[in-house]
Structure 1
Amino acid sequence: MKIYGIDVSHHQGAIDWAKTASELRRVNGGTSPGFAILRVGYSARHGRGGLYMDGQFLNNLAACEKYGVPAGVYFYCYDTSPAAARITAQQVVKMLSGHKFAYPIYYDVEYEKYHLNCGKAQNTAIIKAALETLEAGGYYAAVYCSRDFFINYTDLSGLANFDKWEAAYTKTDTATVQNGLWQYSSKNALGIAGFGNSLDCDVCYRDYPAIMEKNGLNGYTKTAQAAQPKATEYMVTAGPMSAGDKNTIKAQAEALGLPVTVKEC
C-alpha cells in the first residue's frame, strides 16, 4: 500500500487546513484522506531534556481533528543522554494526552554537533530511551533520521524493533533502511495547493490507523475481538454405518473438544 501525506511545523505558518485536507484526498485518488505528521515541538537546546512546544502545534492538531486528516507527531532532538531523552519523551506523552493519533509518534534525530561526534552507540541509546518511554506511555514510537544518519550515525541492528521514517530525496526508495514512512521531497512534490515549492512530502507503506485501533495505541481503545461461538453439538448425517464407524467418528469429534450426540436415522 502507498498513502501520501505531508509533515509540517510552525515554519509553514497558519495553514488553510480545509483546503489542505481536500488536497490530501486529491493526491490519494479520492480514496484516502492521506495524513499529516505534526511537529509537537523540540527538546531543550541545552541537551538535558524538556519539551518546547511548536507554536502551531495546537492549531494544526485542532484543524486535523476538525477536517478529518489522520495525524502523527514528531519532536526534534537536542538531547545528549538517554536520561535527557526520557525527560523529553515523558513531556511529549503529557502533551498528547486526550487526543488520538492514527500515525506514530516520531523522535527526530539529525545533524546536531553532539550527535555527529558522540558515536553510533550513544545515538542509538538516546533514541531507544525516547522510544521506550513513548511506548511505556501507550504510544506507537518510531524514529526519524536521514538515510545517511541511519547508516553512519546509528546502529541499525539496535533499532530493529522500531519503525523508521527515513528522509532521502532520491528518485527511488531503497531497502538499506527498512522504513514504514519515506520522506522523499522537501519541494512539494505532491503539488499541494497553498505551499508553493516548500513542503515536505511523504509516502507511507503501512496501515498505521488500523494498527493503532486494533492495538489500542495513541489514544485509541483496543478493538474488542469478536468471541467465537462455542459449539454445543456436533452432528453428522450419513448413510448406514457400523457401530465401529459411529464410535470412530464420535471419538474424533470429541478429540477436537466437540460434544457429540449420535442419533439413529
Structure 2
Amino acid sequence: MTFRRAALVVLILVLLAPLALAGGWQAFLRFQPDRQRYPVRGIDVSHHQGAIDWPAVAADDVAFAYLKASEGGDHRDRQFAMNWRAARQAGVRVGAYHYFTLCRPGVDQARNFLATTPPDVDALPPVVDLEFGGNCGTRPDGAALRLQLDAFLGPVEQRAGRPAVLYMTDEFRRAYGGVLPDRPQWRRSIVFKPSGRTAWTIWQFHNRGRVAGIKGPVDLNLFAGDRAAFDRWAGP
C-alpha cells in the first residue's frame, strides 16, 4: 500500500469513527432485553426526574415503579409523597426504596424510612439500596455491616409483613455478598444480564432509558417472571 493510499484509509477511518460511535450510542439507548421472556417492565425514580406525568408513564408499558423515599437517618426525598399518590392514581404498582448509608445506625435509618412511607398494604416489598456510589467514606467490615443492616430490616419488614428486597451493584456484592442476608435481589447490571448463580428478582438493565412522561433519562428495570408471577410476588 502506498503512502498516499494509506493516508486515505486513515482519513476515511477518522471520518467514519464518529458515525460508528453515534450508531453504537443509539443502539445502547434503544437496548431492551427480550420482551417476550421479560414482559413486566418498571422504573425507579427520585426527585432527580423532576415532575412526572404518571398517566403517560402508565401508558408507556410501565407496570411498576420504585420511588426513593429516604436516605440515611434524616434525608427524605422531596418528590416522594407526590410521586406515590400520582403513580397509584395512574394504576402503576409502587414501592419505596431507602438508600442505606454506611455511616449511620441501621435503627435510625429504619425510623426515617418508616416515617416517610405510608403503610399501604398493596405496596410492593420495601427495598434497601446498597451501593458505594454517593455513600460516605466509611467501609465497615462484614460483621458490622450485617449488624446495622439487620437493625434496619427488622422493623421495616415487620411493618411490611414480608421480606425486603436488596438492591445492589456488582461492586457492593463483590465486597459484601458473603455476609448479606438471604433476601430477593435487585441487581444492577447495565445491558448485560446479571452474572453469578444467585437468583435475582429484578434486573436494572439501563440507566439512560427513556419513558413517556419523564423528561430526561431514567433507570429501566424488569421482573424475572411473567405477569402472573409478578402479581403473586407483588401481593394484593
- Assess same fold via TM > 0.5: yes
What is the TM-score normalised by the length of structure 2?
0.72
1:133-172 to structure 2, matched below 5 A, reads: 133-140=155-162, 141-152=164-175, 154-156=176-178, 158-160=180-182, 162-172=183-193
Q: Give 3-state SS (helix, strand or coil) of 1:178's partner.
A: coil
Q: Render the CA deviation track for 1:191-220: whole Å, top value 9, x for unaligned.
A: 41244651101111253542453xxxxxx6
Report the Cα distance in structure 1 between the residues aligned to 2:44 and 2:76, rounded to whole angstroms: 16
Identity of aligned residues (%): 24
2:68 paired with 1:39: yes
Q: Which residue of 2 aligns with 1:202?
A: 221
Q: Which residue of 1 aligns with 2:23?
A: none
Unaligned runs of 5+ in 2: 1-36
Cα distance, 1:52 vs structure 2 = 2.1
What is the TM-score normalised by the length of structure 1?
0.65
1:68-107 to structure 2, matched below 5 A, reads: 68-80=91-103, 84-107=105-128
Count of aligned pairs between the two proteins: 193
Q: Which residue of 2 aligns with 1:225?
A: none
Letter aligned with residue 202 of structure 2: L
Letter aligned with residue 140 of structure 2: C
Structure label with greater radius of gyration: 1
Cα distance, 1:164 vs structure 2 = 1.4
Cα distance, 1:165 vs structure 2 = 1.1
Letter aligned with residue 206 of structure 2: S
Q: Which residue of 2 aligns with 1:174?
A: 195
2:48 paired with 1:11: yes
Report the Cα distance in structure 2 between the residues aligned to 1:98 and 1:132, rounded to whole angstroms: 15
2:61 to 24, 29, 54: 24
Report the Cα distance in structure 2 between the residues aligned to 1:118 and 1:98, rounded to whole angstroms: 31
Contact 1:75 1:106 in 2 (8 A): yes
Report the Cα distance in structure 2 between the residues aligned to 1:192 and 1:9, rounded to whole angstroms: 14
Contact 2:167 2:185 in 1 (8 A): yes
Unaligned runs of 5+ in 1: 26-33, 44-49, 214-219, 221-265
Q: Which residue of 1 aligns with 2:14?
A: none
1:110 to 131, 134, 154: 131
Q: Are the structure 2 counterparts of residues 168 and 143 from structure 1 closer, same or farther at C-alpha, using a change threshold of 3 Å?
A: same
